[in-house]
């Protein structure tokens, strides 16, 4: 059971990966939507944490492509720009939640646990 973190901010990605590793999750990271789609085509992920705004392919489009390839894909959208449109798109795609940045780690860990307990 591996979680995929997708964020073009390498420091943010690595910090979050370290936290999730420390609490027992196996974690892979991707620095772009395109890289995330490529990784997900080769390996199943129990959950994806995707930044909304990234150069090239954003988190919503990356999740859309991964969901098309595997209808069981689960995702949390992480964003400092939680617009009504982004929240609507995330919900329509079946993403589990939209979580605002800056991240509150106890809340994020709780939501990850809740999503995975319903997996």
Residue 100: CB atoms within 10 A of its CB come to: 13
Specify the pLDDT at position 112: 95
Domains of the chain: 2-107 (3.40.50.2300)
Sheet (strand 47-51) strand order: 26-30, 2-6, 47-51, 75-79, 97-100
State the chain's mean pLDDT as an integer: 91
Q: Provide the pLDDT confidence category of residue 3 given band limits of 50, 70 and 90.
A: very high
What three-state secondary structure class fits 76?
A: strand
pLDDT tens-place string over residues 17-69: 999 999 999 999 999 999 999 999 999 999 999 999 898 999 999 999 999 98
Percent of the chain with pLDDT over 70: 98
Specify the pLDDT at position 119: 61
Cis peptide leading into residue 102 (ω within 30°): yes
């Amino acid at each position: 059971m591996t979680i995929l973190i997708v964020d073009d901010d390498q420091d943010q990605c690595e910090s979050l990966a370290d936290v999730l590793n420390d609490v027992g999750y196996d974690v892979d990271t991707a620095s772009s939507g395109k890289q995330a789609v490529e990784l997900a085509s080769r390996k199943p992920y129990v959950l994806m944490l995707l930044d909304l705004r990234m150069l090239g392919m954003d988190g919503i489009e990356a999740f859309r492509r991964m969901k098309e390839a595997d209808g069981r894909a689960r995702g949390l959208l992480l964003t400092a720009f939680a617009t009504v449109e982004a929240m609507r798109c995330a919900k329509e795609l079946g993403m589990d939640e939209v979580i605002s940045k800056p991240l509150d780690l106890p809340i994020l860990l709780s939501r990850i646990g809740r999503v995975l307990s319903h997996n």
